[in-house]
Structure 1
Amino acid sequence: SLELCPLSCSGFDLKECLQSAEFISSSDGNFKILEDGSVYTTSAVSLSSEKKTFTILLKDIQKEVQKKIHVSLTQKTRHARDTVLKRTKRRWGPIPSVMLENSLGPFPLQIQQVQSDTAQNYTIYYSASGPGIDQDPKGLFYIERETGNIFATRAVDREQYPSFQIICFATTPDGYSPEVPLVHTIRIEDDNDNAPYFTQDLFEFSVPENSKPGVIVGKMTAEDRDEPYTLHTTLKYRIVAQNPPVTPAFSLHGDTGVVSVLLPQLDRELVPSYTLLVEVRDMAGQPFGLCTTGTAVIRIEDTNDNAPSFKQTQYETRVEENRVNVEILRVSVVDLDEPGSPGSGAVYEIIRGNDDRSFEITTDKNTNEGILCVVKGLDYESAKQRILVIAVNNEAPYMLAPHSQQLSQSTSSVTVNVLDVDEGPVFKPCQLRLDVKECEEIGTSIGRYVAEDPETGNSEGISYRIPPGQCNWISIDENSGEVRTIKVLDRDVAEMRQGQCDISVLAIDRSTGTIQVFIQPGNKNYPRIAKTEYIICRDRKPICLTAQDSDESPYSTPFVYHITDRSLASMWKITRHNDNSVYLSPKDDIPFGIYNIPVSVTDNGGKVGENHITVNLCDCVTPTECNGKTRLLSGGNVTLGVWAILAMILGSLLLLLILITICGCCGSGVMHRHVTDDCANHNLIISNTEAPGEEVMDHNIIPLQNTNDQGGYGIKTGDQQTFEMVKGRGHTLESVKGGGHQTLGSVKEGGGQPMMDTCRYSYSEWHNFTHPRLGEKVHLCRQDEEQKHSEDYLLSYNYEGKGSLAGSVGCCSDQHEEEALDFLDQLEPKFRTLAETCVKR
């Protein structure tokens, strides 16, 4: 046989056999199987001529599944440098390496070296695998192939990776492994880089008031992510502040964070809660340790350490005899304990003066008051006054506070005065309800109310009346007790309380009862439309009519609307919107105008209200465009006012007069006047504008007047002298003085009659006459700072050198031959229309 050193067998892919294997073992202790499937010898193995076999067992403990792998070994001889060396002590198992968390380097940083003694016999190459090398976080460590030095490439966070276990391999160049793979641990040494923190943002505790010192209130816990069981995670607690800042009420255990009572007397009535600011620091509380603060709120629970006491020690009240189940008094107490808690809830009792059980006292849970009632009728003749003594306790038992004295039970006395009542006839029932509708006729019988003599059981000999000063709408018959109305009832008047009128009825022996007359709603109001004026534009959008009725149901809505005028009903339509409103819209073919539409509204009780709606159907886009100029239409016909008709008549007469004047003027002019070519040069254009506009209405320019009504413009001078344009046949322009005016005016021929003008003056005559005067006037009126008139203020129209080809088309021009009007074909449409109007046909 051949003695072998520990050897490595071929590996197995164990995952293919059993992927969920949790336990791997060998049937032969001389062989070891790693997780990656590698098989190694643990000691020297001697193989005989027979094959060496063993079994690998794979187990899944949870699923209770196991599988076996049978391994057969064969002999293999190997010569090491042709000599067999004795093994010496190995250095293949170094102590675990340590690397400081958050190390600053420099990197790469050597942290350990592994060496195998087999390097004395073989050429050894080192390699490694595992977390930090070829597993996440990859590339954190590497090992030098020839030296076995292990290096770190960057800093490590211990809280994320506290340690690494890597597998180191020592192999020869041909792949032989003279060493069993080494599992090497690299531990990350902790750095105090995490401050402690509280496990809750706010700790809330409660403790009963008057608790003894040492009673545990609660525990504040904090944690630290640094390495456990080191100074980095050794925490110390302390109270930094207390609110309110009175005598310290609680203590805090520095190591455990337990809060306990310190103050010997906690009084909820003085301080209902405390707020503690607590600090936790690592490094066992040393000043250089990291710290954090947290908050704890401690609420003081109430205990019944305050006894209730009456606000008054004496009360006095009264009650009529024979009254039963009536409240006669309310008493109240003062209790400093928490309101609404059993420690402040009052429990009342009558401890004296109620031997016959005529009285009873209960507690009002809302107000904590005691309600004293009479449960059995009292007799005035037996006792005119009763004196009671009442006491008060709490729902919870009283707890004596430390250093306080026992309090006695609080009591109060109540004096009850019994009032004498005439025990004559009694009304049955003592309160009678009668329902009557408002607006009933006067004298309507609404019921009967009678009293009985308790001794005889009948109403004989009893008369009735209503004492003065009460509701004066109702009367009662003195003998029969029949109730009637003496006025029209109205439930809306101030004397009626929500339609109710209470009346006391008195019998002759002073027995009294009460009648409650409830006035039911009636149909006394007419429905009416609140808004009656509207504007509808050209889009003819409907308007909404809404009626109002002050009556209550069933005499109000739903309303029924109707147009009472037939002609308007055919022009307008009503569409229902809801119970109290409708839409009113015009039909498409009605003209614009103002319409007065009568609309009747009928309520649910049949009462009809007449309304008149004024609608301005206006040719507008928005209602604001309408200025009340639309005609008023009624019944579909146009109705005009007196002034409108008069204006139309006067306008027609004026138009007729103008037409007659124009026709007469044009006719005579055509028949008796002859227009030369030179006259036509100036008839169409007499100024630089088509019509005198605002630009010529200067206070220095006035309209010129001449004898033939052909207007022009002159310049008004400072001495009121006027230059007028005149035309004269065969005359030259000359100055004629008259009437205080200097005019270039009409020249009279024979007998002072005005001469008929046949032509305007020539341009040169006009220019020579007006230009100096215009220049002088402009110079005087419009001077600038340099005493020069503006150059562009006066612009003269240049004369073209000859007259216009067209003759005059004025209505007063002479025209003997129509053949000379060919120039009209070259005029614009407006002038052509004017010319055609003035030509004789």
Structure 2
Amino acid sequence: MFDCIMRIIVIILIVTLCLGIANSDSSESKPRQKRAWIIDSFTIEEEYPGPYPYTLGKIHVERDYRVAFKLHGNGVDEDPKGLLEIDETKGIISVLGKVDYEKHQVLKLKFEARNVSNQELDTRLGVEITILDINDHPPKFQLSVYETDVEESKEQGTYIITVVATDDDRPGSPNSTIQYRMVSVTPDTPNTEFYIQDSGRISFKGCLEYEEAQKYTIVVEAKDGGEVKQLSSTSTVIINVLDKNNHMPVITGRSGTGRVKERESGLAILRVHTTDEDSKGSAAWRAKYTISGDKGEHFQIHTDPETNDGILTVVKPLDYEEGSERHLSVTVENEEPYFSCQVKRKTSTEKWVLNKIRADTGKGGLPIPVSVNITITVEDVNDPPEFKPTQKEVMVDEDIMTGYLLETFTSVDPDGGPTSEIEYVIGDDPAGWFHVDPKNCQITTVKTLDRESPYVVNGTYTVTIYSIDKGNPPMTSTATLTIHLSDKNDNLPQLHMRTVSMCLSDESTMTNITAYDMDDAPFSGPFRFELLGDVKGKWSLDSNYGTTVNLIKKGTVYSGHHQLQVKIYDQQGHYSLQNISVIVCDCSIGTSCLVRGAPSTNVNSNAIGIVIVSLLLLLGCLMLVFLLTCGREKFDFPFSNNSGDVLLTSNIEKPGTDCKVPDNSDRLLPLQVDHHQTDVCQSLYGQKATMQYASTFQQVGNQTSGYQNLYQNREEQGYHLYGGTNSMYKRMTMQHTKSMTDRYQYKALTLGGKHSFSKGGAFLLRKEAITSLIYQRLSSIQTLREELCDYDPKVYADEGDVATQSELDCISMDEEEFAPDDFLNLGPRFITLATICSPKPALH
């Protein structure tokens, strides 16, 4: 009963729900009158060959009234545009052209049907058109040419390179499935076979051989799996084989003397010649040499980079006495490890059966290196003597006597010569303290040793001794003697400073004085100081023991220099007396009390050297002047007999009426020629010039004599005019007379026209001419009583009798003796003298 009721309730609910849904659909459809439908999709084959257009399909919409069809979307008004069209009255869809699957896999469109009478939307449908892919794209390689390098020592099956091709057809379809294969391999070698896997990975079987093929060219094809047709493309793979060491070097010979003199080094004595079939210049070709049997490591061998030869060089001197021959073994191998590969059997699998040797891993056994035996001959030469031992040390006191036997060295000849043929000489002995016996090498002292010498360093003095044999050539060896000098108390204490300064004060002041001793302890400080002399109440020492003590000045000491004497004892009681100069000065005058020591003259070696150099330079200058003035080089000194050639004639005037020149021709004296002066001139200017000089003086003797007499008269007149007291005038007149005489003598020399003089003579003539001209000018302005500017004596009033004026006694003036020749050496001062002695010109 209960079950029946439940079933009735369920049925009622279902019916009610269905009626509600139906009413809802009818209520919605009545106002819109439209519905969107999705129909079955159409398909278009990619790249269909046509003809175009062709009918793709028809959309069926059954209505009692006429409708118009419209199509929108891909292929109509969206990309790819113009591909599809629809008949507006029949609803037939047509294809107008080709479509590319790789660009458009699906075309989505919207179909609409409208009522023609009222243009209301009747039906809207979604249309999908699927593009069917065809095999229209061949596989494409990423590169048209692949290139790689591979070493010839690589194991078979080693990865070489991978080629990659892609297909633009639908992924996963047979049209995009790619298979690889090798079309060709060039060159085709019997021991190498290349293969490619499905992934494009390329490898090889067998052995690579650089000598057979340095490069392989492989053409690889990629083909798709199209059902209708299959498309393919190719690419080229270039494999460069790198040469490795699969050929051992071979020694073909040697060249060189193979002989070396003992003690020689740095010489190439032998070359080992080697050939190798690997690539020249590579690590597989370059040879590496090793030497065995060289116990003393005297030899070294290196590789010539051009020829690959081994050059054997002596790097450490050999000794003939240790053996006249050296037996060596030279082994050669390459820088790169050796390998070898041979094909024993080919199989259909990926790897063949090989016989391979690798030196780097030891696989297959190690190769036997190539070697050659070499004998080197050592030639005997003169060996230097050998000191045994070469160094010795000795300790002596510094005050040992001269002739003391210090040490003896022994030297032997390794060539077996007698020891008596070895000579010994002293080497480095900067102080010159020692002598070595040339026969037995006994070293003795020749001077007293001094530990405080600057050549002694830290109490040690070093001497070297040479031993010389008499071989050809003579050879030398050296021994060293180190001498340790024991200190003795041979130096007395000294003061560091012998001059100190102190300030003047009423109170006691002090300063430091320091002593030193060149000896070492216990022969030096600390010292004991003692003041000597009258120092009580004036000077004292504060703590008279030590290296430095205080010198105390009492207030009673006055300012100035004070000399004190200090007695200084060392630790052994030896003493010295030292003088110390103390300067006491007033420090209030300045900022400090300056030390004013006693004047002294210290001339160092540099100053002496400068003085010597200056003297040498001065001597050189004097010698140069002497050579220039006394040289024998001649030059022409032109003279003209007629001065009118260069000067206008100006002596045409007649004598004036206000001047009378007395005729003193009767007083002319002949010119005297000094024979001593003639000898001097001959020595300076030559005999010829001297004879011309004397002859010319004889020709003008009358003129010069007359001129002398004329001035002598004027001298007498001037002397009387000035009362005989004007000695200056007398001297000037005498000198002027002499100068005028010289001037006329010079003029006489020029009468001969053009003469040849030495440079010294020309200089003398010029000097005399200038001197004569100066005195001529002075004479013209000193003519007595005839100057135009002279005035008559002025008459003064009578001042009384001279005899009655006792207070106006004559004043005697002592005349100082003066030689007239002093005027000859006045030099530039003569101008001042002439200005003073010359009267001022009268003004009209």
Q: TM-score, normalised by structure 2?
A: 0.37
Larger Cα-atom Rg: 2
Q: TM-score, normalised by structure 1?
A: 0.37
